[in-house]
Amino acid sequence: MTTIKAEQLPPTVSSGRKRKGPLYTALWFQVCVAISLAIALGYFSPARAVAMKPLGDAFIRLITIIVTPIIFCTVVSGIAGMHDLKKVGRVGGKALLYFEAVSTLALFIGLVVGNVVHPGGSFHVSTASLDAKAVESYAGQAKTQGVTDFLVHIIPTTVVDAFARGDILQVLFVAVLFGFALSVMGERSRPLLALLDIVTAAIFTIVNILMRLAPIGAFGAMAFTVGKYGIASLGPLVNLIATFYVTSILFVVVVLGSISYFAGFNIFRFLSFIKEEILVVLAISSCEPVLPSLMAKLESLGCSKALVGLVVPTGYTFNTDGTSLYMTLAALFVAQATGTHLTLMQQLTLFAVAVLTSKGASGVQGASFIALVGTLSVVPTIPVAGMALILGIDRFMSMFRALVNMIGNGVATLVVARWEREIDGKILIPYRAP
């Protein structure tokens, strides 16, 4: 039986070691200060706050350029180093089974909450008064795709195209094939694997450097959000926002907390362990930029490199718990706000369509809104123009969508690692990260 303790963690990974320096040197504290200053600037000087947007965009781009190399190097070296190649298929199968079960449960919870709370019940909006043109651009991007189309999309046109477009699932597909090939080659692949290990170490060093810029990126993104949309814009739709926030928190504490308990770790200790990633996601409303640091922390807890490389990137497409909560809840809000009555069969149809469309909403900001527009297009009972009601607050909704997605993928990785007996016994996750 193995127990992961703080002193066993690699010193190069920003993980759970006790903080020795002053409080102001901690990354999570710097991000908190940056977010506070951004909110103040957005409130008192909206124009200047909006001008801070390039800071957030630049940080996201800096992290994004190394996401695909990290996935490729991690997965290839991990699979090639496995003696039992059957484990790769077994891990992938268990992960997909878990993803489908939990994300479907999240869709169902959003549907139940929408029917119980009725967040759009106080609205009596005529569809004729809505600005349908505001949603047209999103409707154009919302392409309904079947299972066959989705599977074909996983295969890139060329290897270079997968990396150039930054498509995580396509890069993962190429990495798995390459990893299998090196594994079959045996001893001849050792020089290349040694080189990949060096490249991986260099990339993670770059991650540690870039994450020090997280406070600046968080400041720019949050300042833009508050400056452009303003706190006052939340007023008319505060019921929907509050309902979604509370539902998301309860989902993490109750659902993911229960899963964590049976997997042998405490959800609150895990949340404390990844608090830097939580703060960054809340500030920039996207979980993709924290993918490299999240993967590093999960490896430091005992999960193998190959398992982390398979589960986390795949989860960014298939395990979108926050997006699932949002889609059914927001769809019912639009229906209620526009006075559209939905029968049980219509709600079940909405649920079934959302099971498929939610899989296309990855960590990229705005993808969930597009996926929801695509869902409502398939279920014509609910007017798509009603999405204009929540277009202005989508940035605030995306904060918790991305947050729940990220936490859910972290929990899923530890659960699958436990199923694979990579981690045995109780997982003692440290509270603090430097």
From first to last of its 434 residues, the chain has per-residue pLDDT tens of: 334 443 334 333 444 444 456 777 788 888 889 988 988 998 889 899 889 989 988 888 888 788 888 888 888 887 776 666 677 778 888 988 999 999 999 999 999 999 999 888 777 666 555 555 545 554 455 455 555 666 777 788 888 888 887 777 788 888 888 888 888 887 888 888 888 888 888 888 888 888 888 899 889 888 888 888 777 656 667 888 899 999 999 999 999 999 999 988 899 999 999 998 999 898 888 887 888 889 889 988 888 888 888 888 888 778 889 888 998 998 898 888 888 888 888 888 888 888 877 765 554 455 666 677 767 777 777 777 777 777 767 778 888 988 999 999 999 999 999 998 887 766 667 655 54
Residue type, 255: V
pLDDT at 71: 81
Start-end of H helices in 251-301:
257-263, 267-273, 275-284, 291-300
Buried b (16+ CB within 10 A) or exposed e, 134-170: ebeebbeebeeeeeeeeeeeeebeeeeebbeeebbbb
pLDDT at 399: 86
Q: Quick one: CA torsion of 131, 52, 43, 34, rounded to 10 degrees?
A: 130
Please give the DSSP secondary-structure letter assigned to residue 83.
S
Structure-token pair, residue 236: 């008319």
CA distance 178 to 181: 5
pLDDT at 395: 77
CA distance 288 to 280: 10
Q: Is the dihedral of CA 298, 299, 301, 304 positive or negative?
A: positive
Q: Which domains does the chain have, with CATH numbers?
A: 6-419 (1.10.3860.10)
CB within 8 A of 367, min separation 6: which ones?
A: 323, 360, 361
Beta carbons of 283 and 31 less than 8 angstroms apart: yes
- The DSSP-derived string for 293-362 is HHHHHHHHTT--HHHHHHHHHHHHHH--HHHHHHHHHHHHHHHHHTT----HHHHHHHHHHHHHHGGG--
Rounded to two decimals, the pTM is 0.78
